[in-house]
Structure 1
């Protein structure tokens, strides 16, 4: 039976490290589905630090858009870590894709998985109201998507100062 775990938190809250630990507790080797894209040198350095931290227990699949297909293709091959849902949302929005339909498809796909999936997402609703329309649209979309995935998740964890707090 599959298990879906959602790990959320603010920037630099420790959510990726917590999610990596939870994924490896579900089995080794694990698959890391990376949604980040290195559009500049700083992002390339962030990606490299994440990869170096993970080590040999991981196979990385870079997939910025088609994560539902990637989950289907990797199902049965061990636990998967999807990092991160909010970067995926950014990718969808910037590509002018229907993020609501994509989120619905992801929620359905998670329910059908045989192997566990751990998902990292950013909690973006705790800060100030953004001043521009695109940022407000992203914040609203991230909140909706996080709620949709939290609803189908078996567990939800909030990362605070590197510590996991079980929410569901």
Structure 2
């Protein structure tokens, strides 16, 4: 396999199922890297639903904050494909860990310099993940979400999260060998082995923070 595949799409689009199918098709053992933190009953039900749908013989690693560190320990493992699900839950974990100990909802403004601090803390971690992912000899499949295609969030923290997710997806997309966009259960391949199949903004190697 030896390639980095990024699978993206909206909520309940079928992206996780596609990623799991791609992992199974590799014909190798699979290590499932889960980033979810169970904070309530709804999340517990979602995690259990995903868990029951996966093959029982897949290995499981749970890491909500430092997936790149975990991947770094697997770069000598040629026998297993790594499937990470998902990037946007990981970003949420990082953002909430940075948030000061106060209520999130109801705020009209972010704390001073919080956006700059969050970008400085989180985006380098995404760059690190992208770099380590390319070193995995058996291949890496990464699931993320397109969270910016709906309405504009009314809370500043949610808007920051949306922007960080979009920028993070751009970072990972640049590093990926293949990208699939999943819509209503159907996958559209938009990049293969460095060849972009659909047009993209002419931003060179710069991160497009405003597109």
TMscore range, shorter length: over 0.9
User: Which residue matches 1:7?
Assistant: 7
Query: What RMSD, in angstroms, separates the aligned Cα atoms of the two structures?
Result: 1.3
User: Which residue matches 2:143?
Assistant: 120
Cα distance between partner residues in 1 of 2:96 and 2:28: 34
User: Which residue matches 2:89?
Assistant: 87
Cα distance between partner residues in 2 of 1:139 and 1:22: 27
Corresponding residue SS for 1:122: coil
Alignment of 1:68-107 (within 5 A): 68-75=68-75, 76=77, 77-96=79-98, 98-107=121-130
Corresponding residue SS for 2:54: helix
Corresponding residue SS for 2:13: coil
Listed one character per residue, the Cα deviations across residues 49-74 of structure 1 (whole Å, up to 9, x for unaligned) are 11110022411111101101111223
* Higher helix proportion (structure 1 or 2): 1
Unaligned stretches of 5+ residues in structure 2: 99-117, 192-211
| Stretches (4+) displaced over 6 A | none
Query: How much has 1:153 moved relative to structure 2?
Result: 0.2
Cα distance between partner residues in 1 of 2:167 and 2:64: 19
Name the count of aligned residue pairs.
Answer: 168
Corresponding residue SS for 2:131: helix
TM-score, normalised via structure 2 length: 0.76
Listed one character per residue, the Cα deviations across residues 77-102 of structure 1 (whole Å, up to 9, x for unaligned) are 41010000000111111112611111
TM-score, normalised via structure 1 length: 0.95
Corresponding residue SS for 1:74: coil
Corresponding residue SS for 2:179: strand
Corresponding residue SS for 1:31: strand
Unaligned stretches of 5+ residues in structure 1: none
Q: Which has the larger radius of gyration?
A: 2
